[in-house]
Amino acid sequence: MGDMVVVRREGLYCVPGDFYIDPWRPVDRAVITHAHGDHARYGHGHYLSAASSVGVLKSRLGADIHIDGIEYGDTVTHNGVAISLHPAGHVLGSAQIRMECGGEVWVASGDYKVEPDKTCAPFEPVRCDTFITESTFGLPIYRWEPEAQVIEEMNAWWRKNADEGRCSVVFAYSFGKAQRILSRLDPSIGPIVCHGAVEPLNRVYRASGVDLPATLMVSEIDKAALRRAIVIAPPSSSGSPWMKRFGDYSDSFASGWMLLRGARRRRGVDRGFVLSDHADWPGLMSAIKATEAEKVIVTHGSIPTMVRWLCQNGLDAKGFDTEYGDEEEDEASPPAGAAANKETASSGEPPSGEPDA
Ligand SMILES: [Zn+2]
Ligand SMILES: [Zn+2]
């Protein structure tokens, strides 16, 4: 038979099943890998996701969407295609979609991360004939340090700022990254304050049984206490009037892109913490190998590099053009003037030629 999954103008389409995977235009039936905005859009007739994703999807798309949640590993059959969802280790409820039809198995990864963390079910390799993989950080230069080490450095930075009477601000994507950071912060250092875009997601995580330390809204803390506080806020709040109350704060940005000095300079922050919810290069390679797939289809990220590498290693690889973005970049754009001002104020580094990716 032909390809089980193809690209249509609405999105990735499962031909025998007659449904879409993370479609970018409105369709009747959508199977959703996870609730980041570029994968889970408004306007579909019916949604299917992992049970642990339903709460986040409803909080982001509205409580009135038509949605079914299934547990990881359970199977539903649609038009003769057996569909099951398997943990992707990316954010709460993230799933790889396994499709079996006529003895052939395809798996669409959505976004995934191989290193386990405390906030979601760990990535589970699923054997298949064809694996559709993301490639956000699909270049050999991308190699992450363990999460525990990165957030230990963040705790040390926070402690130093607190001892000097200065508030610490971390810009981090509000769904996923923020909760991973929270799960490892040391609350003995000082109060933890979350932006209004982050706190509703904390609630969904806690309701799913994820253990997060106590957090405050900015309205619940007085100015003196803020000097020992750490604030978790979305990157879009950088340079906004909301930041003024924190006085002479030290700021940082938590993202895989912080590996690139040029990207950090452009953000104009004091500190960059290299922390990603996506697999690094060795993670992508180990995940692909573990599927034992002979055919690999590469989506959003570094498609040409990954396809070339996989072909050189004896696999049948090609790319799919999709409209998925990068949630970290999507939420990361501060108001135009803000970054520039901060940068001229704080940048002593020479210009660098590294790409922003
Ligand atoms: Zn994502
Ligand atoms: Zn993605």
- Compute the distance from residue 22 Cα to the ligand 2 centre, in Å: 10
* Confidence at 263, pLDDT banded by 50, 70, 90: confident
Tell if the pTM clears 0.85, that is, is over it: yes
- Compute the distance from residue 346 Cα to the ligand 1 centre, in Å: 31
Q: Does the pLDDT of residue 246 top 90, yes or no?
A: yes
pLDDT value for 330: 52
* Confidence at 349, pLDDT banded by 50, 70, 90: very low
pLDDT digits (tens, 9 = 90+) for 193-245: 999 999 999 999 999 999 999 999 999 999 999 999 999 999 999 999 999 99
Distance (Å, whole) CA 276 – CA 280: 8
Beta strands in 195-328 (DSSP E): 230-233, 250-254, 271-273, 295-301, 316-319
- Compute the distance from residue 327 Cα to the ligand 1 centre, in Å: 6
* Confidence at 265, pLDDT banded by 50, 70, 90: confident
Q: Does the pLDDT of residue 68 top 60, yes or no?
A: yes
Q: Does the pLDDT of residue 159 top 50, yes or no?
A: yes
**Buried-state track 178-204, b at ≥16 Cβ within 10 A, e below 16:** bbbbbbbbbeebbbbbbbebbbebbeb
Q: What is the rounded average pLDDT for all residues in the chain?
A: 91
pLDDT digits (tens, 9 = 90+) for 79-131: 999 999 999 999 999 999 999 999 999 999 999 999 999 999 999 999 999 99
Q: Does the pLDDT of residue 351 top 60, yes or no?
A: no
Q: Which residues contact 26 (CB under 8 A, 6 or more apart)?
A: 10, 41, 42, 43, 44, 45
User: What CATH number is given for 147-275+338-346 in this structure?
Assistant: 3.40.50
- Compute the distance from residue 113 Cα to the ligand 1 centre, in Å: 10
User: What CATH number is given for 5-142+277-319 in this structure?
Assistant: 3.60.15.10
Of residues 133 and 332, more confidence is placed in 133
- Compute the distance from residue 179 Cα to the ligand 2 centre, in Å: 18
pLDDT value for 327: 72
**Ranges of H-type helices in 231-280:** 261-267
- Compute the distance from residue 37 Cα to the ligand 2 centre, in Å: 9
Residues facing residue 250 across a β-bridge = 168
Segment 170-176 shows an average pLDDT of 96
- Compute the distance from residue 189 Cα to the ligand 1 centre, in Å: 31
**In this structure, which residues have their CB less than 5 angstroms from ion ligand 2?**
111, 324
pLDDT value for 264: 83
Give domain limits for the chain. Answer: 5-142+277-319, 147-275+338-346
- Compute the distance from residue 112 Cα to the ligand 2 centre, in Å: 8
- Compute the distance from residue 91 Cα to the ligand 2 centre, in Å: 11
Distance (Å, whole) CA 195 – CA 342: 21
- Compute the distance from residue 87 Cα to the ligand 1 centre, in Å: 13
- Compute the distance from residue 134 Cα to the ligand 2 centre, in Å: 7
Q: Whose CA is closest to 298, among 271, 316, 273, 314?
A: 316
Q: Does the pLDDT of residue 353 top 90, yes or no?
A: no
Ligand nearest to the CA of 324: 2
* Confidence at 38, pLDDT banded by 50, 70, 90: very high
Q: Does the pLDDT of residue 4 top 90, yes or no?
A: yes
**Ranges of H-type helices in the chain:** 51-61, 147-163, 177-182, 199-207, 261-267, 281-291, 303-312, 327-330, 336-346
Two tokens, residue 3: 């390809």
**Ranges of H-type helices in 41-146:** 51-61
- Which residue, chain included where needed, has tokens 């280790």? 89
